[in-house]
Amino acid sequence: MADTSTPNATSGNWALEARGLGKRYRRGWALRDCSFRIPAGRICGLVGPNGAGKSTLLGLATRQVQPTTGELRVFGVPVDDPAVLPQVAFLGQDKPLFKRFTVAETLRMGAELNPGWDAAAAERIVRAGNVPGDAKVGTLSGGQRTRVAFALAFGKRPDLLLLDEPMSDLDPLARDEMSTLLMAEAVERGTTVVMSSHLLTELEDMCDYLLVVSEGRIRMAGDADALVPAHTLVTGVSRDGSLPPELAGHTVVESRVQGRQFQAMIRPGGPLPADWERAEPSLEEVLLAHLRSPDAPSLYTQGARVDAEGTQAA
């Protein structure tokens, strides 16, 4: 398995580290028993259906939500320590800004509230989009407002940037522009990015690390390059309309019998019978299979998992 995702054991190299993290609302658990780590410097996609707990997870990381159980560390510092604040920037789904502030005032807010404010970077981002500085934020277009929100986030010079569906309300052109901006800024600074998204193609292009959440639990965590090759899509002849017993030696994520044929997404546990046709699935196929089958066993690549005591489970 690829080992690129495993920095050495010092916890400062983990941008985000959760142990037994859980959040219960009145209506039930939004997130339960989550243990994972995200290495620093990666672009991590947070994937899951609506209501899976993605926003709760981001809320916990931005201190908007307090955990019911477990703990979350940001670069090794507990998230409830105010020292975390300057390190993390957050861009919510609806990118709230003060509508009556001008763009210049919005950037001034960034300067006033953040000790490490990088005015030049923030202004560069705004200027690149030809957003007038004396325009009220309320009068800007969706793309322009997103740009200002990005400028505010990057001007903070965060080590960890959390994005909750950042592109969902943008047209394709603005989306492309923002993705390019995001990648350029993040790569230049070595910023760790965690972004939730519905758009699997967006994730495939941008992310090199994945955290798949479904029904409040972690389904998969790890290197995108390692997660996909761990799966094989097999097709073979079914026995009397049911799955062949040879599948028992492997981890079946999802399976389907169609007439005399069966098809299964598996994580091979050993050599496969020669008469099975095998194919490497795409990232999208792997994600969809996991999201469709919440009972399938979770998959962590090396280093992505932490057990309750905090030692690395290989």
Partner 1 sequence: MSSTTTLTEKPGEPGKPSELGSGRRLLRGLPWLVVRQHRIALACVLGLTLFTALWIAYERHELVQLLDARGWPEKDPGRPMENNRGYEYITNVINSLPLILAVFVGAPLIAGDQESGTAQLVTTQSVTRRQWLITKLGLAYGLALISGLALSALFTWWWKPHRSLFLSEWIDGVIFDNTGPVLPAFLLFLTAAGVTIGALVRRMLPAMVGTFLFTSVTTVFVWDEIRVRLGSPHMFTYPKDTELPARFHDVHELDRWVGSADGTLYGWGTCAEATDEAQNACIEEHGIVNDVIEYLDYGQMATMQWTAAGILLAGTVVLTAFTLWWTSRRPL
Would you tell me which residues interact with partner 1 (CB under 8 A)?
59, 62-66, 82, 85-86, 88-90, 92, 94, 96-99, 101, 103-105, 107-117, 119-120, 123, 126-127, 131-135, 156
The nearest distance, CB 5 to partner 1, in angstroms, is 27
C-beta closer to partner 1: residue 113 or 279:
113
C-beta closer to partner 1: residue 170 or 287:
170
Question: What is the rounded CA–CA span in Å between residue 196 and residue 75?
Answer: 20
C-beta closer to partner 1: residue 36 or 90:
90
Q: Is 89 helix (H, G, I), strand (E, B) or coil?
A: strand
The nearest distance, CB 88 to partner 1, in angstroms, is 7
Task: Note whether 301 and 38 are within 8 A (CB).
Answer: no
C-beta closer to partner 1: residue 7 or 132:
132
C-beta closer to partner 1: residue 130 or 311:
130
C-beta closer to partner 1: residue 101 or 276:
101
The kind and range of the H/E element at 81 are none
C-beta closer to partner 1: residue 83 or 308:
83
* Angle in degrees, CA 97, 66, 292, rounded to 5: 85
Burial grade of 74 (CB within 10 A; 0-12, 13-18, 19 or more):
buried
Radius of gyration of the chain (CA): 21
The kind and range of the H/E element at 42 are none
The nearest distance, CB 59 to partner 1, in angstroms, is 6
DSSP state letter for 94: T
> What are the contacts of 75-79 at 24+ separation with CB within 8 A?
75/11, 75/12, 75/14, 75/15, 75/40, 75/159, 75/160, 76/10, 76/11, 76/12, 76/14, 76/17
* Angle in degrees, CA 198, 76, 313, rounded to 5: 75
* Angle in degrees, CA 84, 4, 182, rounded to 5: 55
The nearest distance, CB 193 to partner 1, in angstroms, is 15
